[in-house]
Structure 1
Amino acid sequence: MLGIRVHKHEGEKVRRKLIELDVLDKNYKVKREGDFLIFPIKERVEGFEIVETEFEPIEKRPHSYREVVDVPDYLRSLLPSSFDIIGDIAVIELSEELMEYGKQIGEAILKVHKHIKAVFAKGSAVSGEFRIRQLIHLAGEKRTETLHRENGIKLKLDVAKVYFSPRLATERMRIFKKAKEGEIVFDMFAGVGPYSILLAKKVRLVFACDINPWAVKYLEENKRLNKTPNVIPILGDVRKVAGQIKADRVIMNLPKFAHEFLREAMLSVKSGGIIHYYGFSHEDDLFGKHEEKIKTVARELGKKVKFLERRKVRPYAPYQYNIAIDFRVF
């Protein structure tokens, strides 16, 4: 093969020039000989020392598990294009037809994503008071506890015992940017603390409530891990807590049932305070029914609301969206 031989001190400058000329052969590794480098090239280039030598090919890693997984061709179109990564655990949703090949799919994910150590399939929908789902082990380590990192914080959790979605990291940062120093925040459905721990880095105090004892156990641990003593974990039904707290900002991250807790949220926010409400909606009416419910509850309590922002957070089913509505209460 053809190569260009240069002194190592000239290496970076020559590399950039070869890329600019589109003659650098990126299928092979650069060779080192003492103080010299030899770049693999596709064709001769004037003005350089050309040598003939052998180069070691670069092993191309697949970008997706779908490139290496062993399933029948007629099922390939059913392979999910994405899955959740929580710490070093992958959780994937498989159709009934693909479950027979779950082990192969899990092993393919492990092969392509070296940082993933365990793969599980969703065995049921999120359900019950604790918002958890059954998980089916596919490949890798048989453990469900992990350490997840996002937005500069660490979150220890058990994916089989608590609800957690890594897909809301951007939304959590949006709220963090809106929060102000000195505020008191009430996180009504806190889970292991992805909102609470992050906000505690900025605000004065965060009351973090959850009914799941496992979630509060991990919330306590995450409070220590992230050195956020201004997080106050509360284990219990938020209905019994509401009204005892007066917050500048209330977070209602329970999209399926948040509308049932609007009274509690409005009783817990200061006059002029902000509520971040989440819900599920069909694309034909993203915000209307939720806003009507918010206005109805406000009237019943003798309060007024001002809508500040409406947004689609993410799709969660065909034609269905997880939506957010920010509103101020007076």
Structure 2
Amino acid sequence: MFAVKVPKREAEKTRRKLIELGVLAKSYSVKREGEFILFPVTGPVEGFEIVEAEFEKTKRRPHSYREVVEVPEEVRPLLPSSFDIIGDVAIIELPEKLMPYGKAIGEAILKVHRHIKAVFAKGSKIEGEYRVRELIRLAGERRTETLHRENGIRLRLDVAKVYFSPRLATERMRIFEKTQPGEIVFDMFAGVGPYSILLAKKAKLVFACDINPWAVRYLEENRKLNKMPNVVPILGDVRKIAGRIEADRVIMNLPKFADRFLREAMLSVKDGGIVHYYGFGPEENLFFEHEAKINGIAKGLGFHVEFLDERKVRPYAPRQFNIAIDFRVLK
């Protein structure tokens, strides 16, 4: 086939030009001949030295585990199109009919995604005071601790002992962009610190509370790992801490039960301070019930609220969404 022959020093510039012209034969591998590079092309290209050469077909790596996994055809449509990646650990939700093929699915994920070292299936819903779930090992290393990177910070955690969702990375960055330098922040349900560590880059002080001792242990480690001495980890029930902190900004990332802690949030925020509230809502009525509860608690305390922003964060279940409401508290 036809090839463009150029000296090695001109290879990158030539490659970009051939792509721009739409003549680079991408299904074939580039070839090296001494001090020259040969690019496979679809036909003669004006302005370049053209030679004839034989090229090997490019070996395309599969993009999805579904391309390589071996399962019966009747269950193939049930294969999930996505899964969570936390550090080098993958967590996938499998329908019951796919569980007998869990090992094959896990090994396929490891084969396609080389940076993943362990694969687990969700064995239960998130439950209990610590918001954790049972995990079933499918393939890879026998460990659940990992180091996760997002938004320029590092977070060490054990996916079997603490709650963590990588799907909230964009939402965490949204709050970071709203945070002003020098603020005092109260992260009411901090976990291992994905909000706290990130916001500490701007905030003067971040009080980070969680009732799970494992979460606070990792929070302590992550504070040191990211060199954030202005994060103050607090182990305990947030109801015993509320009112003792006066924050400019309060984070309420506990969507299933956040409405039960609205009073504590409002008592912990300064006059004019902002609360970032998270909840779950049905598609046909995303915000109304949450707004009513927020207004009701504020009225009972003699406060007023000003709603600043409402948004869908992500789908949670069929016709259900994780939602965010930002509001200002006026005392």
TM bucket, shorter chain: over 0.9
User: Equivalents in 1 of 2:74, 2:223: separation in Å?
Assistant: 48
1:185-200 → structure 2 map (5 Å cutoff)? 185-200=185-200
Q: Do structure 1's residue 145 and structure 2's residue 145 form an aligned pair?
A: yes
The DSSP-based 3-state class of the residue aligned with 1:57 is: coil
Question: Unmatched 5+ residue regions in structure 1?
Answer: none
Query: CA offset at residue 61 of structure 1?
Result: 0.5
Question: Unmatched 5+ residue regions in structure 2?
Answer: none
Q: Do structure 1's residue 206 and structure 2's residue 206 form an aligned pair?
A: yes
1:208-287 → structure 2 map (5 Å cutoff)? 208-287=208-287
Map of 2:304 onto structure 1:
304
After the TM superposition, list the runs of 4 or more consecutive aligned residues in structure 1 that deviate by more than 4 angstroms.
none
Query: CA offset at residue 46 of structure 1?
Result: 4.9
Map of 2:295 onto structure 1:
295
CA separation of 1:234/1:41 partners in 2, compared to 1, >3 Å: closer, same or farther?
same
Letter in 1 for 2:95: S
Query: CA offset at residue 51 of structure 1?
Result: 2.7
Letter in 2 for 1:85: I
Map of 1:35 onto structure 2:
35
The DSSP-based 3-state class of the residue aligned with 1:197 is: helix
CA separation of 1:44/1:261 partners in 2, compared to 1, >3 Å: closer, same or farther?
same
Bigger shift: 52-61 or 207-216? 52-61
The DSSP-based 3-state class of the residue aligned with 1:314 is: strand
Bigger shift: 302-311 or 51-60? 51-60
1:98-113 → structure 2 map (5 Å cutoff)? 98-113=98-113
How many pairs align? 330
Query: CA offset at residue 79 of structure 1?
Result: 0.8
Bigger shift: 127-136 or 32-41? 32-41
Query: CA offset at residue 8 of structure 1?
Result: 2.4
Cα RMSD, aligned residues only: 1.2
User: Equivalents in 2 of 1:124, 1:99: separation in Å?
Assistant: 13
Letter in 2 for 1:83: F
TM-score w.r.t. length of structure 2: 0.97
TM-score w.r.t. length of structure 1: 0.97
Map of 1:320 onto structure 2:
320
Query: CA offset at residue 204 of structure 1?
Result: 0.3
User: Percent identity of the aligned residues?
Assistant: 75
1:148-159 → structure 2 map (5 Å cutoff)? 148-159=148-159
Map of 1:23 onto structure 2:
23
